[in-house]
Structure 1
Amino acid sequence: MHAQVSHTLRYRYSAPVQLGRHRLCLQPRGHGFQRLLSFDLRLWPEPSQSHSLVAASGDEILRARFCGSTDLLEIRALSHVLTSTPPPLADCLSDNEPELPYPVGHLNGDLMGALEGWLPNGQHEPAAVELAQEALMGSSNRSLLFLEQLVGMIQDRVKYTERHLGPAWPAGRTLRERVGSCRDLALLMIASCRCVGLPARFVSGYHLLEPAPERYDLHAWAEVYVPGAGWRGFDPSGRGPVDDRYITLATSSKPHLTAAVSGSFSGPPAVESSLNWSIEATASVMHPPESQATPR
């Protein structure tokens, strides 16, 4: 799929402020099942210093510093991306589907951060463990059936709703409330996968729905590392396995590190800030070329 996305964010302040350091995760991934054809990022006011860096996840992010004072920060990102649908997991694994729980010692050490629990002592939440065990029992310890069962159980027990403010809820709260945003459902799936030895991480990006909604917003889903098939996306607030209509911006084992924009400002007492954003997207599906008969 060819896609062009224009993402604008405007932060307004009730009085002039000094902007602190900012971290921006707005550049789409340029590898795997996604190719970045072009990317243009513009900021007003212009930063006094900025530099790109490759994060631990492999995503490219931008850090910026500002001088002077302003009552407006505007960020515009224009991306042109080519995406493709990953091959079916069953085809990738063939007769070598990993059984669960997967032995941690068989994994590459680079994946350990995507296995940690959310509790301060590194343990997994009891609610996530219970959900994972239930999905495991219904899957005969088969990893692909486990992922399918887990997505279905989350969708059956938690009603998806929009929620723009606040961090992702922990698994226990999402299951208790029986309602959650895309990031809440993603975190619930991530926590449950980690309980059975499958590394999982949080993803922020765009989901270009068909038909297009009246207004696009950022979306969140999970990526699970399936031994033998690598990182694969799953959207528990959607249809499960992601396809070519998903565009990844940032991934991390820690959800807050995928925020599109994070930073600080300082100003007079009681200064207030507000945010307005718009995401516009156009997409065209790629079709394979028609076969041509060989002339005789």
Structure 2
Amino acid sequence: MRLTVRHTTTYRYAPPRRAVVQSHRLTPSVFEGQQTIWWNISVPGAWTGATFRDGAGDRIETVSMLGPVEEVLVEVTGEVETQDLAGVLRGHRETVPPTAYLRTTRATHPDTGLRELSADALAGADGDPLDRAHRLSRAVAEAIAYVPGETHAHTSAAEALSLGKGVCQDHAHALIGAAIAADMPARYVTGYLFVGDEPMGEASHAWAEIHVPELGWVGFDPANRCCPDARYIRLGSGHDAQLAAPIRGLAQGVGEERLDVSVDVAEAAQSQQQ
């Protein structure tokens, strides 16, 4: 599948900030499941600093703007060809060992509820680690209904599970917590999803990866009850949503900050006909 992306993020500051520095994880991952045809990241008025690939294999770019800064516009456009690898992250190069992802954060820490969910999901399971991962993903999907607007950016996995409602971020955090409770390394993944005409879909998306011996990292998307396929574009990963965020930054100064985000993912053939 060939997909086009247009992702615009606008920050507005009142009063203007003295300076803004951002770290971008906005470039598609390099692995066998996707090939970047072309990709462009534009930040008018900013200058680019360090650019590198981190230990998790993600491309990181830093940008800076000197004030007074009233607005920062980050525009991402590109085209990616994808294929369905049943969620397996085949051919992805990284140096961080899987065991590093047995560490939890506030967002993914498994409380009693998450530990019970994990144990119940794996009760009666054999030793097949892939089957265990699928069981955990199904359990999270059944325990947390997809309901937008009920949680927020700082809702933890434990809180979302207690509420029984959430969005893709909550599903990913809960699956990470449940997997780590079962001593299975897991991490948060950000990217894009081609949703077509689905009314409940999110073009800017998140899911989790669980490390499965002999297969490596395998993606699981409890929000859609599937493994990532050709509809998904992978950007990067981290221990949770904050650490894997496509854009992280610091604005020098105090005042109001407004954020507007627009994401559109389409099939390339369709976009060319419009």
TM-score, length of structure 1 as denominator length:
0.80
Tell me the distance in 2 between the aligned counterparts of 1:237 and 1:88: 14
| 3-state secondary structure, aligned to 1:133 | helix
Separation in 1, partners of 2:193, 2:118: 26
CA distance in 1, matches of 2:117, 2:199: 32
Structure 1 residues 260-284: Cα deviation after superposition (integer angstroms, max 9, x where no partner): 21112234x5x21211121122215
Tell me the equivalent position of 1:113: 100
| Equivalent position of 1:265 in the other structure | 251
Q: Check 1:193–1:216 CA distance in 2 against 1; reply closer, same or farther (3 A cut).
A: closer
Alignment of 1:87-236 (within 5 A): 87=86, 110-118=97-105, 124-163=110-149, 165-167=152-154, 169-211=155-197, 213=199, 216-236=202-222
Task: Work out the CA distance in 2 between the residues paired with 1:176 and 1:200.
Answer: 21
SS of the aligned residue for 1:150 comes to helix
CA distance in 1 between counterparts of 2:80 and 2:109 reads 38
1:44 to partner: Cα distance = 2.0
State the alpha-carbon separation in 1 of the partners of residues 197 and 203 from structure 2. 15
What is the letter of the counterpart of residue 77 of structure 1? V
Structure-to-structure mapping, 1:266-281, within 5 angstroms: 266-267=252-253, 271-281=255-265
> How has the CA–CA distance of structure 1 residues 74 and 114 changed in structure 2, closer, same or farther, with 3 Å as cutoff?
same
Contact 1:118 1:191 survives alignment (8 Å): no
Which residue does 1:70 correspond to in 2?
A: 69
Task: Check conservation: 1:138, 1:149, Cα contact below 8 A.
Answer: no
Q: How many residues are treated as equivalent by the alignment?
A: 263
- Give the Cα separation in 1 of the matches to 2:96 and 2:22: 31
The alignment partner of 1:190 has SS state of helix
Report the secondary structure of 2:29's partner residue: coil
- Give SS of 1:220's match: strand
SS in 1 for 2:138: helix
CA distance in 2, matches of 1:215, 1:278: 14
Q: In 1, Cα distance between the equivalents of 2:245 and 2:109?
A: 25
2:81 paired with 1:82:
yes
Q: Summarize the Cα distance change of 1:111–1:282 in structure 2 as closer, same or farther, 3 Å threshold.
A: same
- Per the alignment, do residues 141 and 171 of structure 1 end up closer, same or farther by CA in structure 2, a change over 3 Å counting? farther
- TM-score normalised to structure 2 length: 0.86
User: How far, CA to CA, are the matches of 1:157 and 1:82 in structure 2?
Assistant: 34
| Distance 1:213-1:19 versus aligned 2 partners, 3 A rule | farther
Contact 1:83-1:247 within 8 A present in 2 as well = yes
Partner Cα distance (1:82, 1:212) in 2? 21
- 2:162 aligned partner, one-letter code: R
| 1:239 shift after superposition | 2.2
Report the secondary structure of 1:256's partner residue.
coil
How far did residue 259 of structure 1 move? Answer: 1.1
- In structure 2, the CA distance between the partners of 1:32 and 1:200, relative to structure 1 (3 Å rule), is farther
- Inter-CA distance 36–213: structure 2 relative to 1 (3 Å threshold): farther
SS at match of 1:278: strand
Instruction: Tell me if structure 2 keeps the 8 A contact 1:222–1:235.
Output: yes
> Could you list the runs of 5+ residues in structure 2 that have no partner in the other structure?
270-274
- What's the offset of the Cα at 1:185? 0.9
Q: Could you say what secondary structure the match of 1:80 adopts?
A: strand
Q: Is the 8 A contact 2:11 2:72 kept in 1?
A: yes
Residue of 242, 257, 267 corresponding to 1:283: 267
Corresponding residue for residue 272 of structure 2: none
For the 8 Å contact 2:87–2:220, the answer to whether it is kept is no
Residue by residue over 1:26-79, the C-alpha shift from the partner in whole angstroms, topping out at 9 and shown as x without a partner, is: 1111223121221111102222x4221112210101111222312111111112
Cα deviation code 1:109-166 (max 9, x no counterpart): 811211124469x985332221111111142343233233222222222111224842
Question: Highest Rg: 1 or 2?
Answer: 1
Is the contact made by 2:133 and 2:210 (CA closer than 8 Å) also made in structure 1?
A: no
Residue 22 (structure 2) pairs with residue 60 (structure 1): no
Q: CA RMSD in A?
A: 2.7
> Does the 8 A contact of 2:25 with 2:246 survive in 1?
yes
